Structure 1
């Protein structure tokens, strides 16, 4: 596979992700940082911190979709943003991969398979085989959504798993997933985490949570708020 060299690099170097004093600024000021991270290869790692633009931007950075303004970042032994991008899948981030409410599961799978295919290859409309191939590794023992189901009618859990499945068709060595608390109910969120743990048997999986995850074997890493957030909270308390 084209990413074998990335896997080899990850196996030869620990940790899989090493960030030192990375920061990002936007028009309104600091977005995140400075952040130091060491994330081991394989398994599921949860970045624990307040939800918002800063945490999403950090996830985007780890997946090679954004470049930090300062600091150093190594992902699977690579520092160039395009190389990081090529070795990472990104799912369930607002503004990046929302599902169209009116599109069916079959529509979405067909579109993704056509996007993945070489320009000269004819990709027919997704059938039950394509559904199993795309969604099976992510859904595991959970029921697959019907091809005819509109995305807007899916449960939170099924919609989240479908977004992950669509992002992860290439099965790169790194999978970055947005906030697990997008799935509101405890039972469904536990099932989501369980599926991410299963994917972590073959990939390095990174996600985020405001409260952390207590599932055995899951690594939780606290990501501190930027000082400006802490200052704002202190000012509110004093008021």
Structure 2
């Protein structure tokens, strides 16, 4: 079951220190100022604030808990980013978090895969409550704050660099050829043509750009894949193709996607969670350190 709403007891959570607020990106430790141990069903309190606007699709996988969040909240040096929120997501398939693009949605997606430190609340993802454990079981892509590609980088450069990162330090990895690109990208691209080896990433069609960024981020094929702005694709056909590829990837794992546009659950996604009412655009300044 997917559940989502405002948390009803935000005052019960302890604040982080000023130093932690100035550096919200995860270093180590549990989430938030409270014990982040896994809670049983009887320990969780359903939020009375607003019924969640969730469209459920027919699940192809056996349901299981992907995300369990209670009272999660984030503040940055410049103010409030999001929360407090309660959120429950089932494992398997594609779950779309529908919200306006901005710092709030970006921060929530990063927090759900262990890349952003929360100010308050408890978060369990795939049974893990420590950020480093969550990071080990997840991948994140198409988030400019983490994986933006410089205009001068070619497809060969990007794939070669990732292969070198994935290899032992003592192993020499030569510059890749077409077969190296295919090895990394074929599963993600599916029927979409692979990008030319010497093409600049910035010159590729938007669909190929995003699929390439997913391929590079997802080389370990962990059980959770988080994908940022699929709404950056202007062409409706390309956007539908990207969603089809994510649905295909979700047949054997869990995929969380951020999108501002409405998504018809009949296209194959597990659920669409409408978060427009509680996730505003925010201010990107809240994610940066005060000078």
- 1:28 deviates by 1.8
- 1:64 deviates by 0.5
8 Å CA contact 2:93, 2:247 repeated in 1: yes
Are residues 226 and 132 of structure 1, via their aligned partners in 2, closer, same or farther at CA, if it must alter by over 3 Å? same
TM-score when normalising by structure 2: 0.72
How many residue pairs are counted as aligned between the two chains?
220
Aligned counterparts of 2:108 and 2:116: Cα–Cα separation in 1: 8
- 1:207 matched to 2:260? The reply is no
Q: Deviations over 1:166-188 (max 9, x none)?
A: 00011011000002111111000
- Give 1:182's aligned residue: 232
Structure 2: gaps of 5 or more residues: 1-60, 283-291
The partner residue of 2:95 within 21, 45, 48 is 45
- 1:154 matched to 2:204? The reply is yes
- Give 2:218's aligned residue: 168
SS in 2 for 1:95: helix
Aligned counterparts of 2:119 and 2:94: Cα–Cα separation in 1: 27
Alignment RMSD, CA only?
A: 1.9
TM-score when normalising by structure 1: 0.87
Structure 1: gaps of 5 or more residues: 1-10, 231-239
The partner residue of 1:33 within 76, 83, 89 is 83
Aligned counterparts of 1:227 and 1:100: Cα–Cα separation in 2: 29
Aligned counterparts of 2:130 and 2:255: Cα–Cα separation in 1: 20
Aligned counterparts of 2:202 and 2:279: Cα–Cα separation in 1: 38
8 Å CA contact 1:32, 1:225 repeated in 2: no
Q: Which runs of 4+ in 1 moved over 4 A?
A: 224-230
Q: Deviations over 1:118-139 (max 9, x none)?
A: 1011111111221111110110
Q: Deviations over 1:124-172 (max 9, x none)?
A: 1111221111110110011000111111210111101111000001101
